[in-house]
Structure 1
Amino acid sequence: MIPVQGYEGRKVAVLGLGRSGLATARALLAGGAEPLLWDDSPESRAKAEAEGFSCTDLTRAQAFDGVAALITSPGIPHLYPAPNKVIARAYEAGVPVDNDIGLFFRSFATPDWDNFETAPRVVCVTGSNGKSTTTALIHHILEVAGRPTQMAGNIGRGVLDIDPAVDGEVVVLELSSYQTDLARALTPDVAVFTNLSPDHLDRHNGMGGYFAAKRRLFAEGGPDRAVIGVDEVEGRYLAGQLAEGAADDRVIRISSGTKLEEFAWSVFARKGFLAEWRRGKQVASIDLRGVAGLPGAHNHQNACAAYAACRSLGVGPKLIEQAFHSFAGLPHRSQTVGEKAGVRFVNDSKATNVDSAAKALQAFPRIRWIAGGMGKDGGIKALVPHLGSVAKAYLIGHSARDFALELGATPYEICETMERAVAAATRDAQAGEVVLLAPAAASFDQYPNFEKRGEDFTARVQALIG
Structure 2
Amino acid sequence: MLPVKGFSGQKVAVLGLGRSGLATAAALKAGGAEPLLWDDSPEARAKAEAEGFACVDLTRNGVLDEAVCLVTSPGIPHLYPSPNKVIARALELGIPVDNDIGLFFRSFGSAAWDDFETPPKVVCITGSNGKSTTTALIHHILQVAGRPTQMAGNIGKGVLSIDPPQDGEVVVLELSSYQTDLARALTPDVAVFTNLSPDHLDRHNGIGGYFAAKRRLFAEGGPDRAVVGVDEVEGRFLANQLAMGPGDDRVIRVSSGQKLEGFGWSVFARKGFLAEWRRGKQVASIDLREVAGLPGAHNHQNACAAYAACRSLGLAPKLIEGALQSFAGLPHRSQLVAERAGVRFINDSKATNVDSAAKALQAFQKIRWIAGGMGKDGGLSGIEPFLGSVVKAYLIGHSARDFALQIGETPHEICETMERAVARAAAEAGPGEVVLLAPAAASFDQYPNFEKRGEDFTARVKALIG
Secondary structure of 2:103's partner? Answer: helix
The separation in 1 between residues aligned to 2:68 and 2:102, in whole angstroms, is 15
The separation in 2 between residues aligned to 1:365 and 1:241, in whole angstroms, is 39
Structure 2, unaligned runs of 5 or more: none
Deviation of residue 65 (structure 1)?
A: 2.7
Aligned to 2:89: 89
More displaced stretch, 195-204 vs 57-66: 57-66
The separation in 2 between residues aligned to 1:436 and 1:205, in whole angstroms, is 32
1:133-175 deviations in whole A, cap 9, x for unaligned?
0000000000011100000000000000000000000000000
Aligned to 2:327: 327
Q: How does 1:275-290 map to 2 (within 5 A)?
A: 275-290=275-290
More displaced stretch, 14-23 vs 312-321: 312-321
Q: How does 1:47-196 map to 2 (within 5 A)?
A: 47-196=47-196
The separation in 1 between residues aligned to 2:185 and 2:375, in whole angstroms, is 36
The separation in 2 between residues aligned to 1:259 and 1:396, in whole angstroms, is 39
TM-score, reference length from structure 1: 0.99
Aligned to 2:403: 403
Secondary structure of 2:37's partner? Answer: strand
Deviation of residue 267 (structure 1)?
A: 0.1
1:274-299 deviations in whole A, cap 9, x for unaligned?
00001011010011111111111111
Secondary structure of 2:255's partner? Answer: strand
Secondary structure of 1:362's partner? Answer: helix
Aligned to 1:454: 454
The separation in 2 between residues aligned to 1:413 and 1:271, in whole angstroms, is 34
Secondary structure of 1:65's partner? Answer: helix
* One-letter code aligned to 1:405: L
The separation in 2 between residues aligned to 1:413 and 1:88, in whole angstroms, is 47
The separation in 2 between residues aligned to 1:355 and 1:237, in whole angstroms, is 20
The separation in 2 between residues aligned to 1:302 and 1:444, in whole angstroms, is 27
1:289-330 deviations in whole A, cap 9, x for unaligned?
111111111111000000000000011111111111111111
Aligned to 2:412: 412
* One-letter code aligned to 2:454: G
Deviation of residue 15 (structure 1)?
A: 0.4
Q: How does 1:3-402 map to 2 (within 5 A)?
A: 3-402=3-402
The separation in 1 between residues aligned to 2:53 and 2:8, in whole angstroms, is 17
Quickly say closer, same or farther: Cα 1:381–1:182, change in 2 above 3 A. closer
Deviation of residue 405 (structure 1)?
A: 1.5
* Contact 1:381/1:407, CA 8 A, preserved across alignment: no
* One-letter code aligned to 2:227: V
1:208-262 deviations in whole A, cap 9, x for unaligned?
1111110000000000000000001110010010000011100000000000000
The separation in 2 between residues aligned to 1:303 and 1:59, in whole angstroms, is 46
* One-letter code aligned to 1:328: A
* One-letter code aligned to 2:95: V
Secondary structure of 2:363's partner? Answer: coil
Deviation of residue 373 (structure 1)?
A: 1.1
Secondary structure of 2:425's partner? Answer: helix
1:60-115 deviations in whole A, cap 9, x for unaligned?
11112331100000110111111110001111111111000000000011000000
Secondary structure of 1:277's partner? Answer: strand
The separation in 1 between residues aligned to 2:68 and 2:381, in whole angstroms, is 49
Instruction: Say if 2:441 is the partner of 1:441.
Output: yes
1:393-445 deviations in whole A, cap 9, x for unaligned?
11111111221122212111111111111111111111111110001111111
1:358-381 deviations in whole A, cap 9, x for unaligned?
000000121111111111222213
Deviation of residue 384 (structure 1)?
A: 1.2
The separation in 2 between residues aligned to 1:344 and 1:325, in whole angstroms, is 20
The separation in 1 between residues aligned to 2:145 and 2:192, in whole angstroms, is 20
Secondary structure of 2:172's partner? Answer: strand
* Contact 1:24/1:100, CA 8 A, preserved across alignment: yes
Deviation of residue 31 (structure 1)?
A: 0.3
Secondary structure of 2:333's partner? Answer: coil
Quickly say closer, same or farther: Cα 1:381–1:183, change in 2 above 3 A. closer
* One-letter code aligned to 1:45: R
Report sequence identity in percent.
83
* One-letter code aligned to 2:350: K
The separation in 1 between residues aligned to 2:459 and 2:162, in whole angstroms, is 32
Secondary structure of 2:165's partner? Answer: coil
1:180-229 deviations in whole A, cap 9, x for unaligned?
01000000000000001111111111111111110000000000000000
* Contact 1:152/1:158, CA 8 A, preserved across alignment: yes
* One-letter code aligned to 1:285: S
Deviation of residue 53 (structure 1)?
A: 1.1
Equivalences, count: 466
* One-letter code aligned to 2:245: G
* One-letter code aligned to 1:416: E
More displaced stretch, 368-377 vs 172-181: 368-377
More displaced stretch, 410-419 vs 146-155: 410-419
Structure 1, unaligned runs of 5 or more: none
* Contact 1:2/1:164, CA 8 A, preserved across alignment: yes
Secondary structure of 2:314's partner? Answer: coil
Deviation of residue 117 (structure 1)?
A: 0.4
The separation in 2 between residues aligned to 1:84 and 1:379, in whole angstroms, is 28
